[in-house]
A and B are shown apart, each in its own frame.
Chain A
Amino acid sequence: MKRWLLIAGRLIIAAIFLYSGYSKLREPWFQFEVSLESFKVLPEYALEPIARTMPWLEVLLGVALLSGILARWFALIASVLLAVFVGAAARAYSMGLNVDCGCFGSGGDPLGPKWFAEHGGMLVLALAVTVGAFVMSKRRLV
């Protein structure tokens, strides 16, 4: 049962990252650069390289999570990425910045309780999958 829950959680996280990367790739990369800039976290020279590569990394991460190869490590990377993203959003929200997160392309929900509930839920799920995957991996090795 736990194993199936873990697989289900992993597939949900995979789908989220695949959709997120795909949504960004459907738009010009400059759109994501504009979204990244609105967080006022990154230095200007870092915006373009991240805007160009992040969507592809998200797709690769989604594919890796779907495949199940080294799932615990990729789940860990997904958790870290989500944690960084939610942290940056929390900072922007506390500063009252007008941010379009660009998570699933442009024009998404503005930062607010609904946004944090959704993305916090994703983060909790990714963390649960990561911990579960490491625990199961350890048990198999014992």
Chain B
Amino acid sequence: MTAAATPELTLMEGAAAIGEAAILAGCRFFAGYPMSPFTPLLEHLAEALPAAGGTCINCESEIEGVNMALGAASTGARAATGSCGQGIALMQEAIAEAALNETPMVVFNLARNQQDYFQATRGGGWGDYRTITLAPKDVPEAIEHTQLLFHLSDLHRAPTMLYGDPLLAQTRVGVRLEKLDFGPLPPKDWELDGTRGGTGQSRQVWTWAMGKATDPGPGPDLHWQNIAAKFAAINEIEQRSESAHCEDADTVVVAFGSAALFVEHVVAELRAEGHRVGWFRPITLWPFPGPALEEATRSARRVLVYELNGGQMIDDVRQYAHDRSAIRFIGGVSIHESGLSYGPLLDAPVIRERILAALPEGDPR
């Protein structure tokens, strides 16, 4: 962490704070296509990134934007794009491509009206790749995660994702924009700069990694095996999670992102009333913090999964919870009538009711 003076507290919209965090992280290229609630991030960077010496393009499609970011990143620059839902779906090809040709970039997924866990963690591209995905619960965490993602992208030479939502993008919060240092990174000895033409040492960024006739590369078989092994190794070292009150809890509530913020609040209330409830929050959606979840649910007789969808993260909870029979789904699809944000299920009293309904008659004992 830096030893500089503490930055001032500034009132900022979440999307703007994320944009400023990207600039702090040295992002020099951004391309995006308007799509709510991601749009404010594009608008902020359209103004702020050129002022910081970078390039922001309002591209003509999501496919173009993510491929522009890939091209920019192939030169060694820190590059990013973003969208949500359908737009992220369009970007799957290029995200897989970047994973397979080992090009770092950050994808800002400011999701819209449900928690698109499957899309973020399973992806829709081809090949044995995974996408490191961080799901901040609030804007201050998003500022940290944005910078961490640029670091992790460069460290692992892979595209990464920030998973956000309308609350994250649109809430105005007091934030401190502090530049974070996550440690040394390997040099980008793979970046294209055009200077090696005719030397026999010219470089390629290529999913098939065949190399040159005079200097063959590993080829698709060995290269893709290496990529799969790389993600298996990342799985072991980049899991992140947070939990509270789980040691003696007989009920643990699992949630991520903004939903987890609500759960944290409700669980604190229930604890104060004597219920032995705890919460567990995956911070990395991938790699999913399975071992930590297993530990946190060790004594739980009820593992309540609260997510705003038809049940997606619950698949990973089923894989790792200490007692699979203890798992119950207390979330659901809940969409605002406009289609553009969450519906009535994202509400502390509603969450409280659902948790209480899952507790045994007469709780607390």
Do A and B truly interact? Answer: no
User: Which B residues are within 8 Å of any A CB, using their own CB?
Assistant: none
